[in-house]
Structures are given as C-alpha cells and as structure tokens.
Amino acid sequence: MVAMERAIGTFELISVARGVATVDTMLKAANVKLFHASPICPGKYLIVVWGQVSAVKNALNAGKQVAEEMLTDEMLLPNVHPSVFPALACTTEVGDMGALGVVEALAAPCIIEAADAAAKAAKVVLIEIRLGRGMGAKSFFSMGGDISEVKTALTVAKELVASKGLLVDTSFIPNPHPDLKGAVL
C-alpha cells in the first residue's frame, strides 16, 4: 500500500438497515476499499473503508447523505500509520516485548484513531485492534514494546480517548508473563 492510500474512514450508525444502504452508497461514490461492514454491539453498524484521502472523503460525504440522523460517530484519518492495518486484521507478528499496553473505549472509530496516535508517538507494535463486536459496544487495542515506549504511547492514546469522553480503561503491564502472549495476543 502506498502512502497516498493510507487513509481510513469510519462510520458508526444506530441502524443496521441504514448502515447497509450507506456502505453501498459509499462504495459506489468513490474508489475506496471496504475493510469492514457489519453489525456490532449493541445493534449498531460499523463501516470502515480505506484508500486515497480524497476518495475516502468523497465516500464519507456520500455516505452522510444516506446515514443522516442514524450516524452516531464518524472519523477520517489521513496518513494512517502502516501498523494500523495489520492490527485491524489481527495479522501482526509479535515478538518479545518489555511491556504490554491496552486501551479500551466506548466507540470503534476513536479506538482506531487512538491506536494510530500511539504508533506515531512511540516505537510500539500494534498487536490487535478489536472493533466492538461481541464486547457490549466497547472496542480496544493492544500494543507492545519497550517499557518506556509503551508508557509514552499509552499516555497519548489515553488522553485522546478521554478527551472524547469515551475512555473505559487502560492497562500497563511491564514484563508480561510468557503465557499471557498466547492467551491474549
């Protein structure tokens, strides 16, 4: 993926029916790639598209015309850190790490933004970004790296999510037990 294609757009709607119609409109309106479109808890619909910044903007603008009052959250994130995509797909290779950090939020779009900010702020590996499915509408991301890097990234992500009033909790685990890697990563 080239840098110009590193934009993500997300919509969270309170209607599954309107969500399906919205994603169809978005895909027809602009040359974007669909990463995710499905119901999430509790009865919401999450759409995640990616592509060139201008295309993602066009898709979001077209989608707003259909989503209207059912749209509860949206995000356009240009110049996404390259580690966000593997973390969303749960394909990140995880090696040894000095610390593990987890950020939990009440909305999916802001957790993607927080993970991106964390990866840009410090040298961490984004391990997983889980978006609201089967978690009572909560989303989270996990990251690993050296202790000081994870602390820095965790602070940045926590402040971003808290500023939106969507922070549930965070955890910082120095020297995670080896069995933890297999259990939660």
- Verify that 62 and 89 share a domain, yes or no: no
Pair 115, 157 in one domain? yes
The H-or-E segment that residue 45 falls in is strand 44-51
Asked if 98 and 173 sit in the same domain, the reply is yes
Same domain, 30 and 63: yes
Q: Assess whether 108 and 174 both reside in one domain.
A: yes
pLDDT digits (tens, 9 = 90+) for 20-58: 999 999 999 999 999 999 998 888 999 999 999 999 999
Verdict on whether the full-model pTM lies above 0.85 = yes
pLDDT in the model for residue 125: 92
Number of domains in the chain: 2
**Residues of the domain holding 24:** 3-77
- The lowest-confidence range among 43-52, 84-93, 95-104 is 84-93
Strands of the 33-40 sheet, one edge to the other: 33-40, 44-51, 7-13, 71-77
